[in-house]
């Protein structure tokens, strides 16, 4: 015999079902989490201060050499000076004895030359020439002497050889260089005597050039005013 459920019993069952739903427990998965690290890539061992970027590295090594354009060993391709520059030196010159610098500078350039001035009755021999190797030394030295180049003075001023010598016109040469050339061109000439204007007491207002086959002085000869001005020069130095 079936029994009909009352309304109260039905309501009670519905409430029981709702309560049963609230008792359901959600069980979380028991699967263990993966122990694999997020990234297996090893960290870089590059030091913090290192710059591994090739963009910042100098791709061209420095070229060492002299960068001074005034130096004899200037290297146009050098990018870093190595202190090897060799700068040529000028020549320092002073006035020759019995003369003055004239137009010569006291600091003569490399390879340059100049001629100083000589005092009266003195002859310029040579010139100043600064060595072209940049060493700062003179390859030629100017002097002011009583006698021209390739001749040397005999005795003091006024030294003379008795007689008038030999040869042509004693008054033709106008300077001591011409007189010296007269002796040079004569194979028998051993010396010459040069008297500037009024330097020979017997030749007022004139120059005198006398050449000799000897070079030994045997007397002294004065000028018009009594001073000793003529010079005796012999071949050789």
What average pLDDT does range 17-43 have in this prediction? 50
CA distance 72 to 65: 12
pLDDT at 165: 86
Dihedral of CA 180/184/186/187: which sign?
positive
193 has a pLDDT exceeding 50: yes
- Rounded to two decimals, what is the model's pTM? 0.55
pLDDT at 5: 52
Share of the chain above pLDDT 70, in %: 76
Is residue 196 within 8 Å of 224, Cβ to Cβ?
Answer: no
Indicate the pLDDT class of residue 67, thresholds 50, 70 and 90: very high
pLDDT at 7: 55
What average pLDDT does range 150-171 have in this prediction? 88
Class level of CATH domain 151-235? alpha beta
CA distance 57 to 113: 53
Residue ranges in 95-198 assigned as alpha helix (H): 176-184
Q: Work out the mean pLDDT of the chain and round it to a whole number.
A: 82
Query: Running DSSP on this structure, what letter comes out for residue 1?
Result: -
149 has a pLDDT exceeding 80: yes
Q: CB neighbours (10 Å) of residue 170?
A: 21
The distance from CA 60 to its chain's CA centroid, rounded to whole angstroms, is 30
pLDDT at 62: 92
Is residue 220 within 8 Å of 160, Cβ to Cβ?
Answer: yes
The values of phi and psi at residue 140, to 5°, are -135, 140
24 has a pLDDT exceeding 80: no
CA distance 198 to 193: 14
Q: Which residue has the tokens 């010296």?
A: 180
What residues does 65 pair with on adjacent strands? Answer: 81
Tokens representing 237 are: 């130095």
Query: Running DSSP on this structure, what letter comes out for residue 184?
Result: H
Sequence-separated (6 or more) residues with CB below 8 Å from residue 160: 193, 217, 218, 219, 220, 221, 230, 232
Fold of 91-145: Complement Module; domain 1 (2.10.70)
pLDDT at 172: 84
Residues of the chain with CATH 3.50.4: 151-235
Residue of higher predicted confidence among 31 and 206: 206
Indicate the pLDDT class of residue 2, thresholds 50, 70 and 90: very low
Residues of the chain with CATH 2.10.70.10: 91-145
pLDDT at 231: 95
Q: CB neighbours (10 Å) of residue 152?
A: 14
Dihedral of CA 14/17/19/22: which sign?
negative
Residue ranges in the chain assigned as alpha helix (H): 7-22, 176-184
What average pLDDT does range 199-206 have in this prediction? 93
Write the DSSP string, 9-21: HHHHHHHHHHHHH
């Amino acid at each position: 015999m079936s029994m009909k459920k009352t309304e109260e019993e039905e309501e009670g069952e519905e409430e029981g079902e709702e309560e049963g739903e609230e008792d359901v427990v959600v069980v979380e998965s028991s699967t263990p989490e993966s122990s694999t690290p997020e990234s297996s890539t090893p960290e870089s061992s590059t030091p913090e201060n290192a710059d591994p970027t090739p963009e910042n590295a100098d791709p061209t090594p420095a070229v060492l050499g002299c960068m001074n354009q005034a130096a004899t060993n200037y290297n146009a391709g050098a990018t870093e000076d190595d202190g090897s520059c060799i700068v040529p030196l000028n020549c320092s010159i002073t006035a020759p004895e019995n003369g003055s610098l004239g137009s010569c500078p006291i600091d003569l350039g490399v390879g340059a030359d100049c001629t100083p001035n000589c005092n009266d009755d003195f002859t310029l021999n040579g010139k100043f020439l600064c060595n072209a190797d940049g060493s700062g030394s003179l390859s030629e030295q100017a002097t002011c002497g009583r006698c021209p180049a390739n001749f040397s003075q005999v005795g003091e001023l006024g030294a003379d050889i008795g007689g008038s010598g030999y040869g042509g016109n004693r008054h033709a040469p106008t300077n001591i260089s011409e007189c010296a050339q007269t002796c040079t061109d004569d194979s028998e000439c051993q010396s010459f005597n040069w008297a500037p204007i009024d330097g020979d007491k017997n030749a007022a207002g004139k120059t005198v050039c006398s050449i000799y086959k000897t070079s030994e002085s045997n007397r002294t000869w004065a000028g018009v005013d009594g001073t000793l001005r003529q010079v005796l020069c012999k071949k050789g130095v």
